[in-house]
Amino acid sequence: MAENKEQQSPYPLAPAANGYARSDTESAYHDARELRKRKRKKCLLYIVLFVVFQTGIILLFALTVMNIRTPKFRVRSAAFENFNVGTPTNPSFSLRINAEFGIKNTNFGHFKYQNSAVYFIYGSVKVGEVVVQKARAKARSTRKFNAAVELSFPENSQLRNDLNSGFVRLISQSKLRGKVELMKVLKKNKSTDMNCSMDIVTATQQLTNIVCK
Q: Judge if 77 and 102 occupy the same domain.
A: yes
Looking at residue 58, its pLDDT comes to 66
Last residue in a domain, options 17, 45, 63: 63
Average pLDDT over residues 182-208: 93
Q: Judge if 134 and 168 occupy the same domain.
A: yes
Q: Counting Cβ atoms within 10 Å, is residue 209 exposed (0-12), middle (13-18) or buried (19+)?
A: exposed
- Give residue 36's pLDDT band: very low, low, confident or very high (50, 70, 90): confident
Q: pLDDT per residue over 146-174, tens digit each?
A: 999 999 999 888 999 999 999 999 999 99
Q: Judge if 76 and 163 occupy the same domain.
A: yes
Q: pLDDT per residue over 89-134, tens digit each?
A: 788 899 999 999 999 999 999 999 999 999 999 999 999 999 999 9
Q: Judge if 174 and 101 occupy the same domain.
A: yes
Q: Judge if 57 and 76 occupy the same domain.
A: no
Q: Judge if 13 and 91 occupy the same domain.
A: no
Q: Judge if 59 and 81 occupy the same domain.
A: no
Enclosing domain of residue 50: 1-63
CATH code (residue 171): 2.60.40
Question: Smallest Cα–Cα separation from 170: which of 212, 213, 116, 123?
Answer: 123
Question: Can you count the helices (H) and strands (E) in the chain?
Answer: 3, 10
Residue 153 and residue 127 in contact, taking contact as beta carbons nearer than 8 Å: yes
CA separation for the pair 181, 190 (Å, rounded): 10
Q: Judge if 132 and 160 occupy the same domain.
A: yes
Higher pLDDT, 21 or 155: 155
Q: Judge if 186 and 207 occupy the same domain.
A: yes
Supply the mean pLDDT for the chain: 85
CA separation for the pair 150, 129 (Å, rounded): 8
Counting residues of the chain whose pLDDT is more than 70, the rounded percentage is: 83
**Tally of domains in the chain:** 2
Q: Judge if 100 and 178 occupy the same domain.
A: yes
Residue 95 and residue 84 in contact, taking contact as beta carbons nearer than 8 Å: yes
Alpha helix locations (H) across the chain? 2-8, 13-63, 157-165
Half-sphere exposure of 114 (CA within 13 A, CB side): 7
Higher pLDDT, 40 or 24: 40
Looking at residue 149, its pLDDT comes to 95
